[in-house]
Amino acid sequence: MQITPLNLPAEAEQLSQWLLSEPWPFHGQPQASETQLLEKIAQGYFFSSNHQSFWLATDQDAQAGFVRIFDLDDIADDGYPMFDLRIRQVWRGQGLGRQALQWLTRYVFETWPALDRMAGTTRLDNHAMRRVFRLCGYVKEGHYRQDWPTADGLCLDTVHYAILRQDWLTGQITPVNWLDE
């Protein structure tokens, strides 16, 4: 897998078309309009001081996936970044998500050496992403009941995973103490 930074605004139309090319059922807005996407691009949603975006490529597909890191401005205030990972349907289940999250974790911790954690969320029913989190050393830290609205009017649970720098460095997982009450 190769990772290349998104070149905005030059690739704005390309990104918009890529995001419109298939449904993204496990994302907050599974199918935005082209106008909405181009507005987000113009507003810096995909690249700014607070956001960075990258293409994920395979030998056969220069745009097999996409990853966006966000909340970067929060790092200075003891915050931590989150991310959005999208893999084209044809490439799902082939290890690209795992490779992308491993790369992303390394990239974030190496780029921001004072950062102690990185996190992400997914819908309860996104079993593939939940498995990727666990395979990459992320630990389930939160479970938000009926937090994620779906296109059909339901509200599903959101699951929050994070990795600590020390866990990433040592390969040892620090468990969450769920029995603290």
Q: Where are the domains of the chain?
A: 2-170
Predicted pLDDT of residue 123: 95
Average per-residue pLDDT for the chain: 92
Q: What's the pLDDT band for 30 if we cut at 50, 70, 90? A: low
H or E element: which one contains 164? strand 155-164
2-170 is a CATH 3.30.70.660 domain: no
Q: What's the pLDDT band for 75 if we cut at 50, 70, 90? A: confident
pTM of the model: 0.92
Is the per-residue pLDDT at 147 higher than 70?
yes
Quick one: tokens of 152?
A: 């059909």
Q: Dihedral of CA 36/39/43/46: which sign?
A: positive
Q: What's the pLDDT band for 19 if we cut at 50, 70, 90? A: very high
Q: Are 84 and 56 in contact (CB under 8 A)?
A: no
In the chain, the N- to C-terminal Cα span, in Å, equals: 44
Predicted pLDDT of residue 29: 63
Higher pLDDT, 162 or 34: 162
Is the per-residue pLDDT at 31 higher than 70?
no
Q: Dihedral of CA 151/146/126/29: which sign?
A: positive
Q: Where are any strands of DSSP class E within 12-154?
A: 51-57, 65-70, 82-87, 117-123, 139-149
Is the per-residue pLDDT at 146 higher than 90?
yes
